[in-house]
Amino acid sequence: MLNNKGFDLWAGDYDKSVNISEENNEYPFAGYKDVLNYIYNQVREQNGSNVLDIGFGTGILTTKLYNDGYSITGIDFSNNMINIAKRKMPNATLISWDFSKGLPDEIKNSRFDYIISTYAIHHLTDKEKISFIKSLFNILSPKGKIIIGDISFETRDELERSKARYKELWDNDEVYFVAEEIKEILNDKYCCTYIKISHCAGVLTVRNRRF
């Protein structure tokens, strides 16, 4: 699993390396642009102005929202990623924080209309993902949405087939979610939907059932 220093080293080349994998339609970034565009359109479609991005990286998605006038808060633990994003979004609140420790104090009393995260949550185990997602409801507006785009699969079989296909490339330190498993756990209390975007990516949306 890459730590913050690993991401610091990747930061300068990040956009380029993502593009190569995306353009070849290969794991891990097949569908990357479509995942980001889908989330961008979801946020743009409805009212709301406060966005939290978890693991914003170089800020590819959040910069578009920032330029559209959204108020952007972000969490990331790589100082080099933060510096790149800060240059693009000088007035955003970008917090240096390791989200495996939960949420930083600075935002515990905030309310966000959208909490988005792309290609970052696979750094948590499945159990950690569930409790992290649940904790996000403490800082989500009642009618808000949590929208998570990541390497992910509809079923465990699909994940296993992809793992076999990409065995040389497969990153065994990363934990990709399986939509039907995560939905089964979260659907009890929350409304949870998944849309498949590419052969190895999709977007999970979680919101409060009452609204």
Ligand X SMILES: C[S@@+](CC[C@H](N)C(=O)[O-])C[C@H]1O[C@@H](n2cnc3c(N)ncnc32)[C@H](O)[C@@H]1O
98 binds ligand X (CB under 6 A): yes
**Which one of 70, 123, 192, 201 is in contact with ligand X (CB under 6 A)?**
123
Name the one range near ligand X by CB under 6 A: 40-48, 55-63, 189-197, 199-207. Answer: 55-63
Name the one range near ligand X by CB under 6 A: 105-113, 118-126, 136-144, 181-189. Answer: 118-126
Q: What's CA 13's distance to the chain center, in Å?
A: 19
Provide the terminal-to-terminal Cα distance of the chain, rounded to the nearest Å.
37
132 binds ligand X (CB under 6 A): no
For residues 137 and 111, is the Cβ–Cβ distance under 8 A?
A: no
Report the distance separating Cα 163 and Cα 168, nearest Å: 9
Q: Per-residue x/- mask for ligand X, residues 9 to 48, rule CB under 6 A?
A: ----------------------------------------
Report the distance separating Cα 181 and Cα 178, nearest Å: 6
76 binds ligand X (CB under 6 A): yes
Which residues have a Cβ under 8 Å from the Cβ of 210 and sit 6 or more positions away?
Answer: 142
Cβ distance to ligand X smaller for residue 9 or 143: 9
**Which one of 66, 114, 119, 132 is in contact with ligand X (CB under 6 A)?**
119
Which residues have a Cβ under 8 Å from the Cβ of 176 and sit 6 or more positions away?
Answer: 122, 150, 151, 152, 153, 159, 200
Minimum CB–partner distance for residue 28 and ligand X (Å): 9
Q: Tally the C-alpha atoms within 13 A of residue 10's C-alpha that lie toward its C-beta.
A: 14
Cβ distance to ligand X smaller for residue 46 or 83: 83
| Residues near ligand X, by CB under 6 A | 7, 55-57, 60, 75-78, 81, 98-100, 118-120, 123
